[in-house]
A and B are shown apart, each in its own frame.
Chain A
Amino acid sequence: MTIPLAGYLGLGLWMFVVGTIGVMIRRNPIVIFMCIELMLNAVNLTFLAFARYGAVSPNMQHGGMVQSSMAGQMIVIFVMAVAAAEVAVGLGIIMAIFRLRHSIDIDEMSVLRG
């Protein structure tokens, strides 16, 4: 019995929604970063599930299917690279803000509000 595609998509949807709720209700910027990582990983899981189960295309030959399954994996690799760069820069920003204000409560950082 193979797992249907909807199982993986359901897990990805669950993780994405939990990450979205976390970004909205938490005030600790480090936890907000973790929730963003959660959302990125949910999207990665969705990409890989679609890559494994194939895309609907009426005139898809075998070579095209191989190419499309590779495209899903490639974008997962690039999402991982972007997430690594984002975490490095974001945690650097948090450290700089903490040095400046000795507090990292995200609701008090309203200096840039227009």
Chain B
Amino acid sequence: MTLFGVLAGVAALSAVGVVAFGSAVRSALCLIANFFCLAFLYFTLNAELLGITQIIVYTGAIMVLFLFVIMLLNLGSPQFLREPPDFLKKGIGLLLGIMLFGLIGSQIIAPLAKNEPVMASAGTVATAANYGLVPRSREDFGSPQAVGTALFTTYVWPFEVASVLLLIGIVGSIMLAKRKI
């Protein structure tokens, strides 16, 4: 419980930091902290392989790419791209965000949070009554063996499509980055 509280608190605060900091480098560092906390939250959900993948892919590859582009564009200096205070836009954005938060929170999360634990009779844990209170997947559902078996049997066709998508991404970014083909 305390572990989840600390991780979720740091993740929520660093998510705010991504938006609130003026300099892009500070936003990127906040995002790295957020992704680390998310990886440990994946560990608490027993999804070990995805937590490690989160650290490798996001903080290892994507955030390095972000920082690389920030350094390349020299956006770190604060006088570059100064954002003039636009209170109307910020106000409308905050208002719409709060409305979205209230809508989803009141319609989806509040009914789930009101669920009281019901004593299951004779080992029937998988009733709809205590839904969302106890983890119901298998303990090892996030192990590399289980994920790999599912990825290369049931989901092998989406896996191939994802590889083609990555190939298209590579070719497209090279096309964009070169001055003359």
Contacts and interface: CB of A to CB of B under 8 A. Distances in A.
Interface of A: 1-11, 13-15, 17-22, 24-28, 30-31, 33-35, 37-38, 41, 44-45, 48-49, 51-54, 56, 58, 60, 65-67, 69-70, 73-74, 76-78, 80-89, 91-96, 98, 103-105
A34 B67 CA distance: 11
A3 B4 contact: yes
Contacts of B6: none
B62 A15 contact: no
B83 A27 contact: yes
A8 B53 contact: no
Nearest to A103: B81
A33 B47 contact: no
B134 A2 contact: yes
Interface of B: 1, 4, 8, 11-12, 15-16, 18-19, 24, 27-28, 31, 34-35, 38, 41-42, 44-47, 49-50, 53-54, 57-58, 61-62, 65-66, 69-70, 72-73, 75, 81, 83, 86, 89-90, 92-94, 96-98, 100-101, 104-105, 108-109, 112-113, 115, 126, 128, 131-138, 141-142, 146-147, 150-151, 154-155, 158, 162, 165-166, 168-170, 172-173, 176-177
Contacts of A13: 101, 104-105, 109
A103 B75 CA distance: 10
Q: Which residue, of B38, B86, B105, has the highest number of chain A Cβ atoms within 10 A? A: B38
A51 B47 contact: yes
A28 B81 contact: yes
Contacts of B105: 10, 13
B12 A11 contact: yes
A11 to B, nearest CB: 5
A93 B136 CA distance: 44
A78 B69 CA distance: 24
Contacts of A84: 57, 61-62, 166, 169
A99 to B, nearest CB: 8
Contact of A92 (B44, B47, B150, B172): B172
Given A18-B97, A53-B132, A28 B112 contact: no
Contacts of A48: 42, 45, 47, 50
B101 A81 contact: no
A88 to B, nearest CB: 4
